[in-house]
Structure formats: C-alpha cells, structure tokens
C-alpha cells in the first residue's frame, strides 16, 4: 500500500511543479529599474509555456527573475481552474504570499491564467488577495497593468481574444536544462466537454502561423535544444488558413496538424518532436503515419479517454464513444508498433454507475496505458455538467473508484516497464539523476524515464541504453554501443 501511495504522490508532483528557474538573456545593466519577479506555474503544460511568454514581456520591462520570493518586487502565480483542488491550492498559496507581502511594502501580487479569468472579482474585491489579474489572452497588457497597480489601482484584463497567439514573442525558457522546450502552436478550445472550464477561460481555438512555429524550432535547435513539444488544448484540430481567414470556417485549410508535424520534424533529424494534447475524435491516421515516417517524432501519444463507457462519454459531451476510442488505440498499435500511450481518467462523473466505472477499468486494461493522470470528478461552476447534471456520485464512492483506477494503472505501469527489461532504447540525456550525481536521467521515445551511469556523455547527447531493471516509474540500465 505504501508503494501505491508513493505512486499517487509522484503523479501529483508531475502535474504541479512550482517556482521553476530561468536564465534571462539580459545583462543586469539592462534592467531599467533593477526590479525582480518571481513566478510559479500550476496545471497543464500550456500554463508553463505561457509563463515563458510572460517572462519575455517582463524582461523587456526591465524585470529580472529571482527564485527567492523574498527578493521579489512582483510575485505571479500562473493558475489552473480544471479542478477545485487546484484552485484551493492557489488560494492557500496566495494567503501565504500575502503574509510575506506585509513584510515587504511595495511588493505586487498577481494571478495569471485560467483562475484569473474565472474568479477575477472574488480575488480582487471579496478576498483582496491580489493587485493584478491577467487572463491568458491579455499578457501583452502587463506593463500597463503594473503601472496601474504601482499607482494604487487594481490592474485587471481578462478579455478573451479570437486572434491572440503570441506568435511574435520569443519566450524566455523557464526550463534551464537547455535541452527540452515547449512550442505553443494554438490557443483555446472549441470542444465543449461538459466537465471542462477551458473554453470559458481560454476562449475559442485559433492556430498559430506555421512559419513562426518552424522558425522557433530552428532557433531552439541552433541554441542547443534537442527536443520540442508542440502544445495545444487539442493539437489535432490545428488548422492554418492564412492570417486573414483564421476565423472563417469556410476558408480552405492551408496546413493541418499532420503537415505541421512533418514540417517541424524536417528542421533537423537530431531534433526530437513531441506533442500534447490529442483528442480522440480528431487524431487521424494521417498523424499516425507521419509519426511512423519520421524517426525523430517520438512514438508517444497522450490520448485522454476520461471514461470507458459510451453513455458516460455522451454525458461528458466527448463526441466519441467506446468503440471509436478502441479503434484509435488499435490504429496506434497497428501503425506505430511499440508506441507509448498515456491518458486522463475521471472517476465518479455525474450519474456514473458501477458498470460504467468497470467499463473504464476494462478500457485501461485494453489500452495498457504507460501512465495516466487520474482524478475524481470535481464540479466546476459554469460548465454544462454543473448546469445540466446532478453531481450525484457520493464522495466516498468517487474516492473508492479512483483508488481502484490508480491500482490498475499502477499494475499496468509496472508490467509495461518490466516488459522493457532486456530492450535497448535511444535516450536523450536531460539532467543529472536526483538520487545519484554519478547517473544521468533521460527519456526514451515512449516518454519513459531512464537512469544510467554518466560515463563520458553530456546533457543533450543521444545514447543507447540497455535496460537491466525497472520499477513502476523508472527504467535503469547501462550505455551500450556509444
């Protein structure tokens, strides 16, 4: 049971990382006011990518980064609203930060992202926790909002946009390993899943100019990066129609996601390409064949199922059923043998019966996910589910079903990793292992973490590692043939 709890805690850690450091490409003499900002990011990869855009905007305003919150003139939390617990975590953090603020007059506190969009009035007026509230489409207005806040006014901009993609802003990379980076390819979401707040907090879908995406990948490679992850709420619905036709539904599509994926893969064969997130209704065989065609497009797909039961999927407004999802799993296995697959799973959605829960278990066992993000249902105000359905599954039942889902995934992850013993994988060296300074940590194409002795290799190298042992989270081995 202790191993199971350890597994759950590791998944929580994977989802919410805080206070990541970055190296700003500015000399100290270039800081106009020699001010410093501190930023924490919560939730999905898109939020971490957005924080890099914010860092770039602030750098141009003369703000340098500090990883010590007590040295900050500006503290920002980039937030998530996908679950109630995520919002509670941010509220608790804001309360702590306000205690620090009392010791440092003049410090400004701001909330960015989805929670800012959803709870602007509460954060500013009722709870008085922040000075600045900025939605995901309004980061360009940060300089003006900071000026207002410095003058004693509350700085607020949560307007959504049909055009904003931040395509012209070069992000300051928050992950300082210098090897892996995010590239945002689109913003917003047109899928109205009944449980989800994203369409209301991030607005409608709009795709970014592919030329700027490919150029960003070129620039990253030339700076030594060896892996990029293309980001979108639903990458498979990426559609570029030209600058003037993006909101025109009738306009011809000039580039789809499969074509964009190929264009980025062609930047350089030494640049690995990943992407997230795919939607089961949109991922087509053209994308799968493109992955199979290029060695440097990683054989890994995150394909959220949410539920394995068709009736429950219909209530979720996922627009696919069990049979369709099984078809996509079969297609992945057929076209990309050995492809890693992960998922998102919700336990205890509105009206979920025990039989529907068991369908989710059987779906997991069929798909044999390498890992999953697993949660029990948390009603979000304003969503279709909150308006249309009763949150009628008792909390005890939700927790029990989630525990069963976690146990199934634990066994799947362990068995999948044990099956890799004796295999050799190409691994990109990313960083020193947390537990042993004499070992490297990297990932294979299937996104599995692999630990191995350092030898003469360095960060950014590709090495072949023979797997000698495994647990549910990690593979361990030795370098061969390098």
Note if the bond before 277 is cis, omega within 30 degrees. yes
- Number of Cβ within 10 Å of residue 312's Cβ equals 23
Tokens 């797997």, residue located: 467
Options 3.40.30.10, 2.60.40.10, 2.40.50.140, 3.40.640.10; CATH of 424-479 = 2.40.50.140
Interatomic CA distance for residues 14 and 8, integer angstroms: 10
Q: If you classify domain 180-418 with CATH, what class do you get?
A: alpha beta
CATH 3.80.30.20 domain span(s) along the chain: 180-418
Interatomic CA distance for residues 329 and 468, integer angstroms: 29
**pLDDT of 187-245, one tens digit each?**
999 999 999 988 888 888 999 999 999 999 999 999 999 999 999 999 999 999 988 77
- The backbone torsions φ and ψ at residue 363, rounded to the nearest 5 degrees and listed phi first, read -65, -45
Question: Sheet of 300-302: strands edge to edge?
Answer: 300-302, 340-347, 371-376
Give the model's pLDDT for residue 19.
36
And the tokens for 180? Answer: 């892996």
CATH 3.40.50.12160 domain span(s) along the chain: 13-157
At 315 the three-state DSSP class reads helix
CATH 2.40.50.140 domain span(s) along the chain: 424-479
**pLDDT of 112-168, one tens digit each?**
988 887 777 777 765 578 899 999 999 999 999 999 998 888 888 988 888 888 989
Chain Cα centroid distance, residue 191: 17
**pLDDT of 423-457, one tens digit each?**
999 999 999 999 999 999 999 999 999 999 999 99
Pairing of the two strands 239-240 and 255-256? antiparallel
Pairing of the two strands 186-187 and 180-184? unpaired
Strands (E), 222-356: 227-231, 239-240, 255-256, 272-276, 300-302, 340-347
Q: At what angle do helices 354-367 and 395-418 cross, to 10 degrees?
A: 10
At 319 the three-state DSSP class reads coil
**What's the pLDDT band for 298 if we cut at 50, 70, 90?**
very high
Q: If you classify domain 13-157 with CATH, what class do you get?
A: alpha beta
């Amino acid at each position: 049971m202790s191993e199971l709890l350890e597994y759950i805690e590791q998944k929580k850690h994977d989802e919410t990382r805080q206070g990541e450091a970055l190296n700003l490409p500015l000399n100290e003499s270039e800081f106009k006011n020699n001010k410093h900002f501190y930023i924490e990011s919560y939730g999905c990869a898109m939020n971490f990518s957005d924080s890099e855009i914010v860092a770039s905007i602030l750098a141009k305003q003369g703000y340098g980064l500090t990883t010590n919150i007590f040295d900050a003139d500006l503290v920002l939390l980039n937030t998530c609203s996908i679950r109630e617990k995520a919002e509670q975590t941010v509220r608790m953090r804001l309360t702590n930060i306000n205690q620090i603020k009392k010791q440092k007059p003049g410090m400004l506190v701001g909330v960015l992202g989805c929670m800012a969009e959803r709870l602007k009035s509460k954060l500013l007026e009722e709870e008085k926790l922040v000075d600045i509230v900025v939605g995901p489409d309004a980061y360009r207005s940060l300089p003006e909002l900071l000026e207002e806040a410095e003058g004693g006014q509350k700085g607020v901009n949560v307007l959504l946009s049909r055009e904003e993609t931040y395509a012209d802003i070069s992000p300051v990379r928050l992950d300082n390993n210098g090897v892996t980076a995010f590239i945002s390819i689109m913003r917003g979401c047109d899928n109205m899943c009944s449980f989800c707040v994203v369409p209301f907090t991030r607005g409608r879908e709009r795709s970014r100019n592919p030329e700027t995406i490919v150029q960003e990948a070129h620039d990253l490679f030339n700076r030594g990066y060896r892996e990029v992850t293309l980001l979108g709420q639903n990458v498979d619905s990426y559609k570029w129609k030209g600058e003037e036709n993006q909101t025109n539904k009738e306009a011809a599509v000039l580039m789809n996601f499969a074509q964009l994926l190929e264009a980025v893969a062609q930047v350089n064969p030494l640049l690995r390409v990943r992407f997230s997130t795919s939607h089961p209704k949109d991922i087509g065989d053209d994308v799968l064949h493109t992955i199979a065609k290029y060695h440097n497009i990683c054989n890994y797909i995150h394909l959220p199922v949410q539920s394995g039961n068709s009736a429950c999927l219909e209530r979720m407004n996922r627009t696919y059923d069990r049979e369709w999802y099984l078809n996509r799993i079969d297609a992945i296995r057929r076209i990309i043998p050995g492809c890693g697959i992960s998922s998102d799973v919700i336990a205890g959605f509105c009206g979920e019966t025990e039989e529907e829960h068991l369908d989710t278990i059987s779906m997991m066992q069929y798909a044999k996910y390498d890992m999953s993000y697993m949660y029990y249902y948390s009603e979000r105000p304003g969503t279709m589910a909150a308006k249309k359905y009763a949150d009628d599954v008792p909390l005890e039942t939700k927790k029990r079903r989630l525990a069963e889902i976690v146990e199934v995934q634990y066994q799947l992850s362990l068995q999948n990793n044990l099956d890799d013993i004796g295999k050799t994988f190409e691994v990109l060296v990313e960083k020193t292992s947390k537990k042993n300074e004499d070992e490297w940590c990297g990932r294979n194409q299937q996104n599995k973490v692999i630990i191995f002795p350092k030898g003469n290799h360095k960060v950014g190298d590709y090495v072949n590692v023979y797997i000698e042992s495994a647990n549910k989270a990690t593979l361990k081995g030795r370098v061969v043939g390098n």
